[in-house]
Structure 1
Amino acid sequence: MKAFSWTDSPHGAIVADGKRLEAAAYGPPPDEAPTIVLLHEGLGCVALWRDVPEKLAEATGCGVFAYSRAGYGRSDPIPLPRPPDYLVREARDVLPVVLGALGFRRGVLVGHSDGSSIAAIYAGETQDDRVQGLVLLAPHVFAENYGFEGIEEVNRAYESGELKARLAKYHAHVDCAFLGWSGFWSDPGVLGWTIEDFVARWRAPALLIAGRDDHYFTLAQSRAIERIAPTPVESLDLPDCRHAPQFEQPEATLDAIAAFCKKRLGEER
Structure 2
Amino acid sequence: MPLPVSTREHWIGTEKGQLFAQDWTPADARDEPILLLHDSLGCVALWRDFPEHLARATGRPVIAYDRLGFGRSERYPGALPLGFIDDEAREHFPALQRHFGFERCVVFGHSVGGAMAVACAAQHPQACAALITESAQAFVEHQTRDGIRAAEQEFAREGQLERLQKYHGDKAFWVLRAWVDTWLSNDFSDWNLDAELALVKCPILSLHGEQDEYGSAAHPERLTSVPGVPTVLTLLPDCGHVPHRQQQSAVLDAVGDFLRRFGGATAG
TM-score (norm 1): 0.90
Report what 2:240 is aligned to.
Answer: 242
Report what 1:218 is aligned to.
Answer: 216
Q: 1:264 & 1:74 partners in 2: Cα distance?
A: 34
| Deviation of the 1:233 alpha carbon | 0.8
| Deviation of the 1:134 alpha carbon | 0.7
Structure 1: runs of 5+ lacking an equivalent: 1-5
Whether the 8 Å contact between 1:29 and 1:63 is mirrored in structure 2 is no
For this pair of structures, how many residues does the alignment match? 260
Q: 1:10 & 1:163 partners in 2: Cα distance?
A: 31
Structure 2: runs of 5+ lacking an equivalent: none
Report what 2:125 is aligned to.
Answer: 127
Report what 2:103 is aligned to.
Answer: 105
Q: Secondary structure at the match of 2:224?
A: helix
Whether the 8 Å contact between 2:131 and 2:205 is mirrored in structure 1 is yes
Whether the 8 Å contact between 2:107 and 2:120 is mirrored in structure 1 is no
Report what 2:178 is aligned to.
Answer: 180
> 1:196 aligned to 191, 194, 197, which one?
194
Q: 1:248 & 1:152 partners in 2: Cα distance?
A: 22
> 1:156 aligned to 145, 153, 158, which one?
153
Q: Secondary structure at the match of 1:169?
A: helix
Superposed counterparts of 1:1-269, under 5 Å: 10-28=8-26, 32-128=30-126, 130-172=127-169, 173-265=171-263
Whether the 8 Å contact between 2:110 and 2:136 is mirrored in structure 1 is yes
Q: Secondary structure at the match of 2:195?
A: helix
Q: 1:250 & 1:14 partners in 2: Cα distance?
A: 29
Q: 2:213 & 2:159 partners in 1: Cα distance?
A: 20
Q: Secondary structure at the match of 2:225?
A: helix
| Deviation of the 1:171 alpha carbon | 0.6
Q: Secondary structure at the match of 1:214?
A: coil
Q: 1:159 & 1:79 partners in 2: Cα distance?
A: 25
| Deviation of the 1:180 alpha carbon | 1.2
Q: 256-265 or 58-67, which moves further after superposition? A: 256-265
Q: 2:33 & 2:27 partners in 1: Cα distance?
A: 8
Q: Secondary structure at the match of 2:18?
A: strand
Deviations 1:55-108 (A, max 9, x none): 011111110110000010010011343111111101111111112111113331
Q: 1:112 & 1:227 partners in 2: Cα distance?
A: 19
Whether the 8 Å contact between 1:68 and 1:75 is mirrored in structure 2 is yes
Q: What letter is aligned with 2:56? A: E
Q: 1:30 & 1:42 partners in 2: Cα distance?
A: 33
| Deviation of the 1:42 alpha carbon | 0.7
Q: 1:162 & 1:40 partners in 2: Cα distance?
A: 24
Q: 2:264 & 2:218 partners in 1: Cα distance?
A: 31
RMSD in angstroms over aligned alpha carbons?
2.1
Q: 2:251 & 2:76 partners in 1: Cα distance?
A: 32
Q: What letter is aligned with 2:148? A: I
Q: 244-253 or 64-73, which moves further after superposition? A: 244-253
Q: What letter is aligned with 1:57? A: A
